Amino acid sequence: MANRWGIPQEVEDFVKQRDTNCVYCRVEFSEDNESRKTKPSWEHIINDIRINGIDNITLCCMSCNASKGAKLLEDWLESYYCKSKEITVDSVASVVKNAIANPPNLNKITMHNNGYQ
Ligand SMILES: [Zn+2]
Report d(CA 21, CA 19) in Å as an integer.
5
Query: Does residue 32 sit within a domain?
Result: yes
Average pLDDT for consecutive 10-residue bins of the chain (117 residues)? 78 96 95 74 93 95 95 96 97 97 76 43
How many angstroms is it from 48 CA to the middle of ligand 1?
20
Write the DSSP assignment of 49-89 as a string of letters. Answer: TT--STTTEEEEEHHHHHHHTT--HHHHTTSHHHHHHT--T
Burial of 62 (0-12, 13-18, 19+ CB in 10 A): middle
| Residue range of the domain that includes 66 | 9-101
Backbone angles phi, psi at 59, to 5 degrees: -115, 130
Question: How many distinct structural domains can be found in the chain?
Answer: 1
Please report whether residue 2 resides in a domain: no
Distance 106 CA to ligand 1 centre (A): 26
What is the Å distance from ligand 1's center to 30 Cα? Answer: 12
Secondary structure of residue 48 in the 3-state scheme: coil
